[in-house]
Amino acid sequence: MRLHVTGATGYLGSELVRLRPDASTERVEIRDPNAVDELFSRLRPEVVIHTAYRQDGPDARGINVDGAENVARAAARLGARLVHLSTDVVFDGRKGAPYVEADEPSPVSKYGRTKAEAERRVAAASPGALIVRTSLIVGGAEPSKHELAACRPGTWFTNEIRSPVQVTDLARALLELAVLEVAGPLHVAGAEDVSRAELAELVTGRPVDSAEAPPTRPLDCRLDSSHARSLLRTRLRGVREVLG
């Protein structure tokens, strides 16, 4: 299949390209719909994996929402399969149990709101798109931003729970899912749930300063990935196995 990866220089994007060196990676400004259309008309990808985003800053909404919609529209015009990357923080973290695909997004952070809106826009523009919600990405050849942060002085939250995923596991899963007939939201995260404080201890190998996070943050955003597991050959390892 002709594969195009957006955000190919990023943490996940570069792992996808390492696994699929034949993928096209040319970067255009995704907020520019004409640039995305021109690129896809020229490359004619059969599958697009859309990882490009910004976590924060003044451009985040335009990139995460309008950019994602532009990618989805351009892919749909060509009849290309779209795998769109989303996040566990489309949820508010107040359910008290792992989130399943049928749960309604209810973001409480600015970033989460952009990604939830992106999901809606992508689904409308490209109804066959697969929307992969994942958790903290860790464990590559280079440390991820979460691992780097854990090594800096700071206080880590004991009640902010995530299901971290190893970057190669996630990339392999995405490549498998790219050719399966599955659409809509799908949770693809690691097999173990840990707090931010536990994650920092796993990364550093020593106790860290910890505290409870304020309730305004997305606290318990565990993802239930059992549907993905039933579809995949790739094993989504737990974070203790990956970093322990």
Ligand X SMILES: NC(=O)c1ccc[n+]([C@@H]2O[C@H](COP(=O)([O-])OP(=O)(O)OC[C@H]3O[C@@H](n4cnc5c(N)ncnc54)[C@H](OP(=O)(O)O)[C@@H]3O)[C@@H](O)[C@H]2O)c1
- What contacts 235, CB < 8 A, 6 or more positions away? 169
Task: Kindly state whether residue 11 participates in binding ligand X, applying the rule CB under 6 A.
Answer: yes
Answer whether 162's CB lies under 8 Å from 63's CB. no
Work out the widest C-alpha separation in the chain, in whole angstroms. Answer: 52
**Of residues 177-196, which lie at the interface with ligand X (CB under 6 A)?**
none
Q: Name the residue nearer to ligand X (CB basis): 81 or 187.
A: 187
Go through 91-122 and write b for each residue having 16 or more CB atoms within 10 A of its CB, e for each that does not.
Answer: bbbeeeebbebebebbbbbebbbbbbbbbebb
Structure tokens at 105: 């997004």
Looking at residue 184, the DSSP 8-state letter turns out to be E
Task: Kindly state whether residue 199 participates in binding ligand X, applying the rule CB under 6 A.
Answer: no
Answer whether 33's CB lies under 8 Å from 72's CB. no
What is the nearest approach in angstroms of ligand X to the Cβ of residue 70? 10
**Of residues 76-135, which lie at the interface with ligand X (CB under 6 A)?**
85, 87, 115, 134-135
**Which residue among 23, 136, 203, 219 contacts ligand X (CB under 6 A)?**
136
Residue 111 is a catalytic residue: yes
Please choose, out of 5-13, 178-186, 215-223, 232-240, the segment that lies near ligand X by the rule CB under 6 A.
Answer: 5-13
Task: Kindly state whether residue 143 participates in binding ligand X, applying the rule CB under 6 A.
Answer: no
Beta pairing, strands 137-138 & 194-195: unpaired
What is the nearest approach in angstroms of ligand X to the Cβ of residue 31? 6
What is the nearest approach in angstroms of ligand X to the Cβ of residue 54? 5
- Report the catalytic residues: 111
| Chain residues in the site for ligand X (CB under 6 A) | 7, 9-13, 27, 29-31, 51-54, 63, 67, 85, 87, 115, 134-137, 146
